[in-house]
Chains A and B, each alone.
Chain A
Amino acid sequence: MNVFSEVGRYILFMRYVFKRPERGRMFWNMLMREMNLIGIESLVVVILIAVITGAVTTVQTASQLKSDSGVLPPSLFPMEIVGSVVGSSSVLELAPTITCLVLAGKIGANIASEIGNMKVSEQIDAYEVMGINSIGFVSFPKILAGVIVIPFLIVLSNFLLIFGGLMAAKITGIMTMDEYVTGLRSSFLPLYAKVLLVKSYVFSFIITSLSCFQGYYTTGGALEVGEAGTKAVTRICVTILLFDLIIAKLLL
């Protein structure tokens, strides 16, 4: 199946996602459940990834600026640059993109497998026979929950990346905390926050909608359910990186 027909099928799929839910209360319950699954249950992995990535970025950037590194001429750049690099790369790239690539693996595979399993075990057919818009019923709460919760995770991840860098600077002694914070402040532009938020909402929509789409069109059995999860993650990652480039070009 070529890319164009897949995109067409995705657009047709999305038409059914945003139909009014049959039962508001049931939709609300499902939304809360999904917000918990997507948000709370991803918290630990997001915290770990953010702190470690922030620390690694700081240590690696500082090591290249050290006078004895041989990478750059001695004392060409002040160490404040490290805070500046970590701060701007966190807001612009690491927090939204790395977090979402990790969440694609966790949430995307989970959603695609869950819906894929429902599809092959005829649960989706059961919704349809009952007169329920099955696409909207299983997908809308997941997509909405993702769009609400994932941006919070990304903003949290951004702060933790910076915090991780700060801790690394303090623990390893490669620079003072003052140097780090000064660099951090000097590099920040309000536009960066806007880019972060735009990326957050776009990426969270990509993660949840693509995984729902991939899961919904699963056919076959257990093997294909596993394949649906893998395909969903691959497609989400490629799409996120593509939109990362488009947003960066458009907004910066």
Chain B
Amino acid sequence: MIQLVDLNKYFEEKHVLKNINARFLPGVANLVIGASGGGKSVMVKTMVGLEKPSSGQVLFENQDFNNLEYEQQQVLRREIGMLFQGTALFDSLTVEQNVEFPLMMFSNMNKEERMDRVNLCLSRVNLVNANKKTPAEISGGMKKRVGIARAIALNIKYLFCDEPNSGLDPLTSRVIDTLLHDITKEFGITTIINSHDMKTVKDIGEHIVFVHQGQKWWEGSSHDLAEAQKSNPELDAFVKASF
């Protein structure tokens, strides 16, 4: 389980994350929802160590990420996969090489074993016959799938997705959502998806954290969302505006 304890983040004078306490449950799709500019991306980046918290803790199985030695952080990071908003594929490498990259860096597999794993991951995200293409030659939806394949190439425990549906048409968005849900269940990983798409919440959200103006406004199961809307006008306004 991942926990945020009294997490604060300032950018100079601007208080972006305000005393956030939240839990992200193992083996389920955890969704961080909220309007753009509300602090979701900063929260996710702070969780994966790309931003340092101004105060507070990010606990991975009760280990405070920011109190670990650099080398220990690097080891923990190898259990984390991330799908970036812009996919962040290495544009000098082919699709196949992108997925192979983490295996080359952190596994002792030989070339044949690596290729087997690459093909497994690519077929798992329903991407075939694109191995030799470069990121510039494939569509946005395909890039997202390559990003997911690269993220799961190693046996990760945590998968972070920053706006996985941004820039995609509704149909492809649903395909990506389903894929993330299936992968979460199949590999038993803790998935944290940062999104403002309520269709994603409806389709695959199990545990929801609503962030508004840098604060955690509400946290709970997707089944409790409708009930929570009644007592939480900000959440209600966000949900209604999304449909």
A residues lining the B interface (CB < 8 Å): 22-23, 26, 121-123, 125-126, 128-133
B residues lining the A interface (CB < 8 Å): 45, 48-50, 73-78, 80-82, 84-86, 88-91, 102, 104-106, 160
Assuming the contacts A22-B105, A126-B82, A128-B49, asked whether A121 and B88 have C-beta atoms less than 8 A apart, the reply is yes
Assuming the contacts A122-B88, A123-B90, A125-B50, asked whether A132 and B105 have C-beta atoms less than 8 A apart, the reply is yes
Residue of A122, A129, A132 with most chain B CB atoms under a 10 A cut-off? A129
Would you give the shortest CB distance from A54 to chain B, in whole angstroms? Answer: 37
* Docked-complex contact B78 and A131, CB < 8 angstroms: yes
Nearest to A133 among chain B residues (CB) is B74
Q: A129 to chain B: which residues have CB within 8 Å?
A: 48-50, 77, 80-82, 160
Assuming the contacts A22-B105, A26-B105, asked whether A130 and B88 have C-beta atoms less than 8 A apart, the reply is no
| Interface residue from B74, B86, B104 paired with A131 (Cβ < 8 Å) | B74
Nearest to B71 among chain A residues (CB) is A131
Would you give the shortest CB distance from B111 to chain A, in whole angstroms? Answer: 11
Residue of B81, B82, B88 with most chain A CB atoms under a 10 A cut-off? B88
* Docked-complex contact A122 and B105, CB < 8 angstroms: no
Q: A133 to chain B: which residues have CB within 8 Å?
A: 74
Chain A interface mostly helix, strand, loop or mixed? loop
CA distance A130 to B98 in the complex (A): 13
- The 7 nearest A-B residue pairs measured at CB: A131-B77, A122-B88, A131-B74, A126-B88, A129-B82, A131-B78, A122-B84
CA distance A68 to B88 in the complex (A): 67
Nearest to B162 among chain A residues (CB) is A122
Nearest to B48 among chain A residues (CB) is A129
Nearest to A132 among chain B residues (CB) is B105
CA distance A128 to B78 in the complex (A): 10
* Docked-complex contact A121 and B86, CB < 8 angstroms: yes
Q: B75 to chain A: which residues have CB within 8 Å?
A: 131
* Docked-complex contact A23 and B82, CB < 8 angstroms: no
Q: A121 to chain B: which residues have CB within 8 Å?
A: 86, 88, 91
Q: B88 to chain A: which residues have CB within 8 Å?
A: 121-123, 125-126
Nearest to A129 among chain B residues (CB) is B82
CA distance A128 to B76 in the complex (A): 11
21 contacts between A and B (CB under 8 A): A22-B105, A22-B106, A23-B105, A26-B104, A121-B88, A122-B85, A122-B88, A123-B91, A125-B82, A126-B90, A128-B49, A129-B50, A129-B77, A129-B82, A129-B160, A130-B77, A130-B102, A131-B77, A131-B78, A131-B106, A133-B74
Q: A22 to chain B: which residues have CB within 8 Å?
A: 105-106
Would you give the shortest CB distance from A21 to chain B, in whole angstroms? Answer: 10
* Docked-complex contact A128 and B105, CB < 8 angstroms: no
CA distance A122 to B74 in the complex (A): 18
Would you give the shortest CB distance from A169 to chain B, in whole angstroms? Answer: 46
Nearest to B77 among chain A residues (CB) is A131
CA distance A22 to B102 in the complex (A): 11
Would you give the shortest CB distance from A116 to chain B, in whole angstroms? Answer: 13
CA distance A121 to B90 in the complex (A): 9
Q: B73 to chain A: which residues have CB within 8 Å?
A: 131
Would you give the shortest CB distance from B33 to chain A, in whole angstroms? Answer: 21
CA distance A126 to B81 in the complex (A): 9
A121-B88, A126-B90 are known contacts; what are 9 more A-B pairs with Cβ within 8 Å?
Answer: A23-B105, A122-B88, A126-B84, A128-B50, A128-B77, A129-B48, A130-B77, A131-B106, A133-B74
